[in-house]
């Protein structure tokens, strides 16, 4: 489809029609000439002070995403416009002139701090213009830029170009587009020179999903299936052994008799990223449904179930069975409780442990070792489902639940109907007690848990109560959960 945005790219554009690049920098550094040279493939003898917005067609670069380039003026009266353009941009091209070292100095003394002051998260491409005028005796670009890139991590790439000689002009905007579509920051920690935790967690989940026989390694067949799924192209036998050889040379534990291990898989991705091949890792992540924050895309976890305000969602027995299964799988020491370390391992394929903060943190009883019982574990899932079904579903998927949203949750009957029939099918009840601090809310709820008569329970059910949770200031909530047994 001509002019269409590729699915991988559109997943990242969040509804926008293309990438917007703003070109900023000191006057006379060559901004406007750069824009004209790109659009016309010629060097303009005379350029207007500021070029009107320039649109590159979608097929200009292989990613098939249209680019709009915004030229700017750095005159004081244009400052509000400059700021507005920077705020609207997906990437910033920041220029200096190779023949004027003062303009290079101004990057760290003025421009980069100014962008920081605006609290922009946009990637920056630093461009040395007028490469044809560069003094050959000068130190290399790497030497000049290394300290600046060290202090300003928002710089994605630096490059030199000449609009006059048509050297590396399209490359400037290719890198700008690449920085938007395949950003480094979510994947790689430049300081530590390692994959970021969220990236590791997502890749671990992908690895496990591809390890069909669950032997902890990707065999040649599994590697090939992975390649076909992500890149729509099979791997040759020699390519597979080549990849494994590279890994094994650098990291012996990256490969074992069964194939590529998780360590090896992660090492490979770190290697791609270090070599600037970010699009490889991004393509893999996007194929498995991840967005730019390395979370599952909203449309994949959106609630397809319509419900009235007085209806809530509860776990189906299918999901409860699944959760019992993973509870037992991660209860390594088989003591009927998940220790904090076992729970961390269970959620190690999710972006983070969803229960590490309130209101889930202390919402279920723990044993003396800090272990969470099956009852407490299920209660937390029920509580999360009650409060935030999309997040609950996302976490089910992260920990390996293969089913659809609609098989994970059921909608309770409307309260109105319950009242008329004087009977409820609900298994989860949440009550709130309001009152001033210290007036006895928590003790009231605690004694309620102890005293509730068992004949009030639905037949054939176990009752679990999450601990009461202090909500801001004047409210305490208690969740009572019944599971059919």
Ligand X SMILES: Nc1nc2c(ncn2[C@@H]2O[C@H](COP(=O)(O)OP(=O)(O)O)[C@@H](O)[C@H]2O)c(=O)[nH]1
- Positions touching ligand X (CB under 6 A) are 27-33, 47, 129-130, 132-133, 162-164
Nearer to Mg ion, 48 or 325 (CB): 48
Minimum CB distance to Mg ion, residue 243 (Å): 47
Of 29-37, 246-254, 279-287, 375-383, the window that binds Mg ion (rule: CB under 5 A) is 29-37
At its nearest, how many Å lie between ligand X and the CB of residue 98? Answer: 9
Q: How far apart are the two ends of the chain, measured CA to CA in Å?
A: 54
Letters for 49-68 (x = contact with Mg ion by CB under 5 A, - = none) are x-------------------
DSSP alpha helix (H) spans, 337-440: 340-346, 374-387, 389-398, 405-408, 415-421
Query: Which residue number, 100 or 277, has a Cβ lying nearer to ligand X?
Result: 100
Residue 128 contacts residue 159 (beta carbons within 8 Å): yes
Min separation Cβ 142 and ligand X, Å: 21
Rounded CA separation 205/352 (Å) = 12
Select the binding partner of residue 244 from Mg ion, ligand X, none (C-beta < 5 to 8 A, by kind): none
What is the closest distance, in whole angstroms, from the C-beta atom of residue 70 to ligand X in the complex?
12
**What is the distance between the alpha carbons of residues 257 and 261, in angstroms, rounded to a whole number?**
10
- Helix (H, G, I), strand (E, B), or coil: what is residue 126? strand
Q: Which is nearer to ligand X, 28 or 340 (CB)?
A: 28
Cβ nearer to Mg ion, comparing 78 with 258: 78
Give which of Mg ion, ligand X, none residue 27 binds (C-beta under 5 to 8 Å, depending on kind). Answer: ligand X
Give least dist CB 49 to Mg ion, A.
Answer: 5
C-beta of 136: minimal distance to ligand X in Å?
15
SS3 9: helix
Q: Which two tokens mark 76?
A: 């004081």
Spatial distance between the Cα atoms of 286 and 206, rounded to a whole number of angstroms = 11
90's enclosing H/E stretch is none
- Residue 32 sits in the site that holds Mg ion (CB under 5 A): yes
**Contact indicator for 414, 308 with CB cutoff of 8 Å:** yes
- For ligand X, the closer of residues 170 and 458 by Cβ is 170
Q: What are the two backbone dihedrals, phi and then psi, of residue 467, each rounded to the nearest 5 degrees?
A: -60, 155
Among residues 28 and 458, whose Cβ is nearest to ligand X? Answer: 28
Closer residue to ligand X, CB minimum distance, 169 or 346: 169
Name the binder of 164 from ligand X, Mg ion, none, CB < 5-8 A by kind: ligand X
DSSP labels, 139-204: PPHHHHHHHHHHH-TTEEEEEE-BTTTTBSHHHHHHHHHHHHHS-STTTEETTTTEE-HHHHHHHH
Residue 25 or residue 354: which is nearer to Mg ion going by CB? 25
**Cβ of residue 19: shortest distance to Mg ion, in angstroms?**
21
Residues across the chain: 485
Residue 130 binds which of Mg ion, ligand X, none (CB < 5-8 A, kind-dependent): ligand X
Cα–Cα separations (whole angstroms), residue 71 to 18, 57, 112, 308, 479: 17, 17, 18, 50, 57
Count of residues of this chain found to bind Mg ion when the rule CB under 5 A is applied:
3
CA distance linking residue 483 with residue 316, whole number of Å? 10
Between CA 258 and CA 225 the distance in angstroms is 16
Select from ligand X, Mg ion, none the partner in contact with residue 187, using the beta carbon and a kind-dependent cut-off of 5 to 8 Å.
none
User: Which one, 34 or 319, has the nearer CB to ligand X?
Assistant: 34
Q: What tokens appear for 180 in the block? A: 């938007």
CB of 52 to Mg ion, least distance (A): 12
**Rounded CA separation 422/3 (Å):** 60
Map tokens 């050959």 to a residue. Answer: 136
Q: Does 227 bind Mg ion (CB under 5 A)?
A: no
For residue 317, the surrounding DSSP H or E stretch is helix 317-330
467 binds Mg ion (CB under 5 A): no
Of 26-34, 91-99, 109-117, 160-168: span binding Mg ion (CB under 5 A): 26-34
The residue (of 99 and 291) whose beta carbon lies closer to ligand X is 99
Residue nearest to Mg ion (CB): 32
The entry of ligand X, Mg ion, none that residue 186 binds, CB within 5 to 8 Å by partner kind:
none
CB of 259 to Mg ion, least distance (A): 56
What are the residues binding Mg ion (CB under 5 A)?
31-32, 49
């Amino acid at each position: 489809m001509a002019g269409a945005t590729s699915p991988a790219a559109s997943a990242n554009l969040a509804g926008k029609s293309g990438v917007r690049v703003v070109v900023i920098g000191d006057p006379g550094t060559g901004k406007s000439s750069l824009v004209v040279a790109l659009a016309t493939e010629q060097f303009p003898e005379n350029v207007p002070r500021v070029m009107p917005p320039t649109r590159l067609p979608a097929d200009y670069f292989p990613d098939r995403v249209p680019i709009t380039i915004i030229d700017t003026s750095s005159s004081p009266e244009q400052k509000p416009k400059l700021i507005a353009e920077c705020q609207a941009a997906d990437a910033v091209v920041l220029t200096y002139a190779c023949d004027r070292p003062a303009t290079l100095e101004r990057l760290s003394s003025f421009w980069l701090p100014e962008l920081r002051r605006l609290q922009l998260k946009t990637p920056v491409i630093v461009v040395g213009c007028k490469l044809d005028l560069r003094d050959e005796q000068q130190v290399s670009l790497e030497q000049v830029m290394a300290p600046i890139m060290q202090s300003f991590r928002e710089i994605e790439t630096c490059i030199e170009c000449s609009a006059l000689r048509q050297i590396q002009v399209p490359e400037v905007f290719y890198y700008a587009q690449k920085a938007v579509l395949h950003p480094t920051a979510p994947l790689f920690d430049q300081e530590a020179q390692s994959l970021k935790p969220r990236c590791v967690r997502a890749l671990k989940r992908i690895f496990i999903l591809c390890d069909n026989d669950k032997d902890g390694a990707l065999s040649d067949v599994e590697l090939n299936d992975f390649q076909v799924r992500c890149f729509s192209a099979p791997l040759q036998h020699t390519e597979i052994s080549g990849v494994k050889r590279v890994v094994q040379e650098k990291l012996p534990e990256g490969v074992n008799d069964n194939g590529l291990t998780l360590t090896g898989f992660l090492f490979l991705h770190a290697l791609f990223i270090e070599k600037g091949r970010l699009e490889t890792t991004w393509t893999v992540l996007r194929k498995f449904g991840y967005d730019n924050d390395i979370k599952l895309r909203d449309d994949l976890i959106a609630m397809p179930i319509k419900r009235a305000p007085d209806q809530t969602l509860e776990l189906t027995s299918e999901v409860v069975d699944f959760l019992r299964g993973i509870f037992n799988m991660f209860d390594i020491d088989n003591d009927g409780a998940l220790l904090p370390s076992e729970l961390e391992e269970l959620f190690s394929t999710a972006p983070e442990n969803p229960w590490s903060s309130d209101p889930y943190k202390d919402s279920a009883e723990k044993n003396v070792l800090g272990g969470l019982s099956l009852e407490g574990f299920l209660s937390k899932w029920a509580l999360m489902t009650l409060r935030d079904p999309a997040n609950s579903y996302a976490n089910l998927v992260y920990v390996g639940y293969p089913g659809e949203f609609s098989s994970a949750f059921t909608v309770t009957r409307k309260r109105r109907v319950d009242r008329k029939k004087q009977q409820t099918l609900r298994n989860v009840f949440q009550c709130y007690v309001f009152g001033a601090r210290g007036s006895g809310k928590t003790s009231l709820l605690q004694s309620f848990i102890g005293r509730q008569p068992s004949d009030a329970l639905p037949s054939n059910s176990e009752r679990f109560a999450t601990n009461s949770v202090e909500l801001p200031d004047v409210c305490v909530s208690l969740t009572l959960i019944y599971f059919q047994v």
